[in-house]
Structure 1
Amino acid sequence: MSTTNFTLDQLGWRPAYAQHLTLEDFETGQPARVVGVQRSGLSVLCSRGLLAVTVPPALCAGSEPAPTVGDWVLVDADAARVRRLLPRHSLLARVAAGTAQRTQAIAANLDTLLVVTSCNADFNASRLERYLALAFDAGITPVVVLTKADLCADPESYLEAAASLAPGIAVVAVDATAAASAARLAPWLAHGRTVALAGSSGVGKSTLTNTLIDDARQDTAGIREDDARGRHTTTSRGMFALPTGAWVIDTPGMRELRVGAVDAGLDTVFDEVERLAALCRFRDCSHAGDTGCAVERAVADGRLDARRLASYHKLQREAAGASRTLRERHEKERQFGALQRQAQRAKREMRKQDR
């Protein structure tokens, strides 16, 4: 990333962000954009250039995900310290590994998610559906980017398969090493826009990032030819300025992508399943052996791919589990808040009695 000073407009600032700041905020601090996350703090860009700033522990302890790449923060004018996190207009997040159902932020304030896969054994329709559901649920425009099409005997089959995963989804085939080919992504790389690249390791995310920024800042490594699986090269998220005035975030390859409560995203990705479900005999049809199920009938007569239905069921179960955990967490927070208020009232009463 460059240490050049950037204006707010160049960093992707939106007028709506200013609604969350007061005149005093602008007098004592300044907005900055997070371009890197380290254990010791954040790297941010603002009118003063590239700064390393610390983050108050309280900012990472709440129910909202901690600051991530792409976020806007208010930084003290006279200290390298974050004062607060500004509300996000979009957040791409997944459920972290483990049993706690903790939300892990991937990137914030995105306009477009470039879901990168390759025309080989890495192409996995069910995994792509996960990325698409996350993007749609967050209000982010997803674009499927197919790499290595020049090495594939039948690239059209991959293009058709990707296009069938969601209604109206844009699919672009590129040579990640060629600037002329990568220029096909220009419609999503206008001035002030922010895009993130996501996908498994070895599909060409870092190579494509280097081509877009016309640099070689991201280390790259090829796939293992025996199984087409990539080697991890990007180990942390970073945000880079493009010659077009857009910003690109490269994310590490994710072996596991668990979705949260993404009901709206699932409705969009599996639009044909939702339309068929409206024809089921019973409104609470589970589409798993129920009498008069229009969805299963469509699978039986070939109008709906059985893999699609299996993927839909699996993601629905994950989303339902995340919703239950979220409700339970909110209930615990509500109960804890009530106990805190009760304790504070008791303290005030005791002080009155002591007087």
Structure 2
Amino acid sequence: MTRDYSNFLPRGAYAAGSHAKLDPLQALGWHPFFAQQISVDDLSSTPPVRIVEVHRSGLHALGDDIDTVLPPRADVTVGDWLMLDPSHPRSSRVLERTSLIKRRAPGTDRQEQLIAANIDTAFIVTSCNQDFKVARLERYAALAFEARITPVIVVTKTDLVPDPQSYIDAARAVSDMIDVVALDARGDAPRTELTPWCKPGKTVAFLGSSGVGKSTLANALLESQSIETRTIREDDAKGRHTTTRRELHAMPNGCLILDTPGMRELQLTDAADGINDLFADIQDLAARCRFNDCQHETEPGCAVLEAVDEGILDAHRLGRWRKLMAEDAFNSASLAERRSRDKAFGKMVRGVKKIKDVRR
């Protein structure tokens, strides 16, 4: 009997955050944005599945009465929705994403690495110890803004310092558009403080270094100890890699949680808009400069430099902005050049193939 998939298409009765029981796809984060990209015929022949786990050997996908492993693909990441082609799984269509977190992959070839897709909220986790670095928080925040994901900074291990307020104030100074939550991850605080962002059908991700408490926070929300945790090293407060893969976990209320491994290196690429959103204060000042192409170095009439001289803008913040913009420009240009080379090579291959076909 052919399954009736019409209830998975857009309709007025569906509302995100509804208290009604979620059907299997909605429980995986399915909502009208994805439904609008397909038809009933698509659903019948290629049912939707979501990638809930990424391994080197394959992609774990779940759907309505579907639990399967697909071949690994560089263009697919955890959180993606695919229209599963049972006959040719590697050719399954990837649906347009609501958001995509990516970075320049470690190494010298400057490839892009996809981190996660279709995330609604990114909890940027740091702790009240040597791990706390404003520059790192700004990197994660720029990444979230570029992906159009709601960033929330979570300051953990507040119980380890006499007065955590200095850490909280520094986190709030990152951007006035980002909420900051300070808590002890081991108690009930995660469930009470983070619940506003963890709604049924939503997907949240924990981002940050190893050892800051990402897995502990995830376990608190999951109301289980399903994710392994480990203590940090006492000498330098650095964490040990416990989470080794990106995997979605379901909360009791129907929210999905992505726990990610700590990233030792976070190089931005194609993130200029996210950086500008994060440093909106500098962008506002730059609009007042005398010259439209002002580089904010030594130019006369530079409103940015004047703000630094007057103590309105912190010189260190300006320096971090310059560093991120330069890094992003370098990585993005390298990627653009590689894409151009790939396009030219593909054109050459097609040309050679066409000549061979004509000769035959």
TM norm. shorter chain > 0.5: yes
Equivalent residue, structure 1, for 2:273: 264
Amino acid at match of 2:191: A
Tell whether 2:56 aligns with 1:39: yes
**Tell me, which stretches of 5 or more residues in structure 2 are unaligned?**
1-21
2:345 pairs with 1:336: yes
Q: CA offsets, 1:208-257, max 9 Å, x none?
A: 11111011111111122222222221111111001121100000011111
Match of 1:285 among 294, 300, 303: 294
Higher deviation after alignment, 70-79 or 214-223: 70-79
Kindly report the root-mean-square deviation, in angstroms, between the aligned alpha carbons of the 2 structures. Answer: 2.0
Aligned AA (2:25):
L
Q: 1:18 aligns with which of 22, 25, 35?
A: 35
| Correspondent of 1:53 among 67, 70, 75 | 70
Alignment of 1:62-211 (within 5 A): 66-77=75-86, 83-211=92-220
- What letter matches 1:200 in structure 2? S
| Contact 2:183 2:189 survives alignment (8 Å) | no
- Determine which of 252, 255, 262 is the counterpart of 1:246: 255
CA distance in 1, matches of 2:216, 2:246: 15
Q: Tell me the SS of whatever aligns to 1:197.
A: strand
2:45 — aligned with what? 28
Please give the TM-score of this superposition, normalised by the length of structure 2.
Answer: 0.88
Is the 8 Å Cα contact of residues 54 and 82 (structure 1) preserved in structure 2? no
Contact 2:190–2:217 (Cα < 8 Å) also in 1? no
CA distance in 1, matches of 2:89, 2:295: 54
How many residue pairs match? The answer is: 339
Cα offset, 1:78, TM superposition: 6.9
Q: Normalising to structure 1: TM-score of the pair? A: 0.89
> Aligned-pair distance for 1:326?
2.8
Instruction: Between 287-296 and 217-226, report the one with greater CA deviation.
Output: 287-296
Report if aligned partners of 1:7, 1:47 keep a CA contact under 8 Å in 2: yes
Cα pair 1:73 1:82 within 8 Å, conserved: no
Contact 2:190 2:220 (C-alpha < 8 Å) held by counterparts = no
Distance in 2 between residues matched to 1:109 and 1:334, nearest whole Å: 28
Q: Classify the secondary structure of the residue corresponding to 2:139.
A: helix
1 CA distance for matches of 2:64 and 2:90? 15
Show structure 1 runs of 5+ residues with no match.
61-65
Task: Provide closer, same or farther for how the CA distance between residues 49 and 22 of structure 1 changes in structure 2, counting only shifts above 3 A.
Answer: closer
Tell me, in whole angstroms, the C-alpha distance in 2 between the residues paired with 1:323 and 1:337. 21
Please give the secondary structure, in 2, of the residue aligned with 1:211: helix
